[in-house]
Amino acid sequence: MTETTHQKGSSTNTPGGALSGIRVLEISHQAGAVCGRVLADLGAEVVKLEPPGGEPARSSHPLVELEDGSEQSCFWLAFNVSKRSVCIDLSSDAGLGDFRSLVQDADIAVTDFQRLSLRESDRLQAIARDASPQIIWLDILPFGRGEPFEDYPATDTVLQALGGHLFLNGDVDRPPVRIGVPVALVQGGAEGASGALMAYYHRLRSGVGQRVDVSIQECIVWTLLNSTMIWQILGMNEVRGGAIRKERANRFYTRLVWPCRDGYIFFGPVGGGGGVARQKSYDALLKWMAEDGFTDEILTRHDWNGEGQFRIPQADYDAVTEVIARFIRTKTEDELMSRAVRDRILLAPVSSVKAVFDNPHFRSRHFYEPLEDPLRGTSLEYPFRWARLTETPLRQLTPAPLPGQDNERFLNAAKHQSQ
């Protein structure tokens, strides 16, 4: 791809974006903020409604201290850029009056279960639909609406568990272990953006607004990809593994995480399923090992990625693993990935957050976007260009708002209009 494509895909040339002119009200904690960020990147004007002084999510983990001594939430800073903030007290009549005025100009309202109880959400929804019958009202919830389950308490980890994913992570001699970032809440937010936009697309064509709800539990079930089918068809529950596991529906264990000189790589050289790519990958590995003097009869004793792989004894898998492990330990992550790309070996470094930040591939694609924030005195690079749209590039980032910084603009305008 040429440099001109980069420029065309860059956010700096075209203001607006696909959703330009669409206004979103966001009453959120974490999942709703992610949803709002996706909509803002796509060009919507996202107005956060916060209680006076700022919303509780401004102090959600991970917390850091900035140079000016203030404490900041990295989660909040990450997912609230490119938005406006209006502070109103939704528990007061005056606040509800302001809400009614604001919602008249809104196309989509985003809420989540951490910020609002269902009762509060329903009360606001009734006002919103009365003032703006075509509004799209999104609730991001642990389990969805409309049944006794809608009130069950939940958190990110609880939803990782109830979606069936937690059980499959970690070493078999210890309890299941969570993915260490709130994947359930973030994916619930992204799914909410997609659902809300579907409803908005429908409204454009039909004139009909409606309520949308997302079940985060269902989002997590989707991350399994094949576990519910494996159970139905084979009657098997998969077994968790840390570095060594039964991949997919295998009956045998293979090593998938390999220590190297300066970290770990993910690699399934043998027994990982069929396919020409896996066979070629293994051949390229053997060639490299031979160059370094790593040869052993076990390496070619079986067709490790062929049809017979499911009948190879566990002892042989263990033996071939030992030889490959000795070789991998002599290489660094960079050496392994460079050669992998050259020879099409199917491995990848288990990248630390630092390695993700420094990743040369992401860097060459201008995935990160610098953002100066004069209010907080920071200059940070955001993971940003998550989709490249030729005609409506993602909108350029602007700093996350201070609490209520846009009160005057939005409340006065709304009042003026409703008079």
Take residue 173 and report the two structure tokens written for it.
Answer: 């001699």
Instruction: Considering the complex, state which of residue 277 and residue 290 has its C-beta at the smaller distance from other proteins.
Output: 277
Take residue 303 and report the two structure tokens written for it.
Answer: 């067709």
Instruction: Considering the complex, state which of residue 294 and residue 362 has its C-beta at the smaller distance from other proteins.
Output: 362
The nearest distance, CB 27 to other proteins, in angstroms, is 18
The nearest distance, CB 413 to other proteins, in angstroms, is 23
The nearest distance, CB 209 to other proteins, in angstroms, is 9
Which pairs with CB-CB distance under 8 Å and at least 24 residues apart come from 381-385?
381/357, 382/78, 382/81, 384/11, 384/41, 385/9, 385/11
Instruction: Considering the complex, state which of residue 241 and residue 404 has its C-beta at the smaller distance from other proteins.
Output: 241
Spell out where 252-361 has E strands: 254-255, 257-260, 263-267, 347-349
Q: Tell me which H or E stretch contains 236.
A: none
Instruction: Considering the complex, state which of residue 53 and residue 360 has its C-beta at the smaller distance from other proteins.
Output: 360
Supply φ then ψ for residue 324, to 5 degrees. -65, -40
Take residue 262 and report the two structure tokens written for it.
Answer: 């300066």
The nearest distance, CB 326 to other proteins, in angstroms, is 16
User: Which residues fall within 8 angstroms of residue 254, CB to CB, at 6 or more apart?
Assistant: 244, 245, 246, 247, 268, 270, 271, 272, 317, 321
Vertex 274, ends 271 and 277: CA angle to 5°? Answer: 105
- The rounded distance, in Å, linking the Cα atoms of 262 and 270 is 23
- Assign 108 to helix, strand or coil: strand
The nearest distance, CB 199 to other proteins, in angstroms, is 6
Structural contact between residues 336 and 328, judged by C-beta atoms closer than 8 angstroms: yes
Instruction: Considering the complex, state which of residue 69 and residue 148 has its C-beta at the smaller distance from other proteins.
Output: 148
For the beta carbon of residue 261, count every other beta carbon within 10 angstroms: 13
Tokens 């040429």, located at residue:
2
The nearest distance, CB 93 to other proteins, in angstroms, is 28
Instruction: Considering the complex, state which of residue 22 and residue 86 has its C-beta at the smaller distance from other proteins.
Output: 22
The nearest distance, CB 363 to other proteins, in angstroms, is 9
Q: Which residue type sits at 358? A: D
Instruction: Considering the complex, state which of residue 93 and residue 147 has its C-beta at the smaller distance from other proteins.
Output: 147
The nearest distance, CB 411 to other proteins, in angstroms, is 28
User: Which residues fall within 8 angstroms of residue 144, CB to CB, at 6 or more apart?
Assistant: 150, 213, 214, 215, 217, 218
Instruction: Considering the complex, state which of residue 96 and residue 230 has its C-beta at the smaller distance from other proteins.
Output: 230
Structural contact between residues 325 and 255, judged by C-beta atoms closer than 8 angstroms: yes
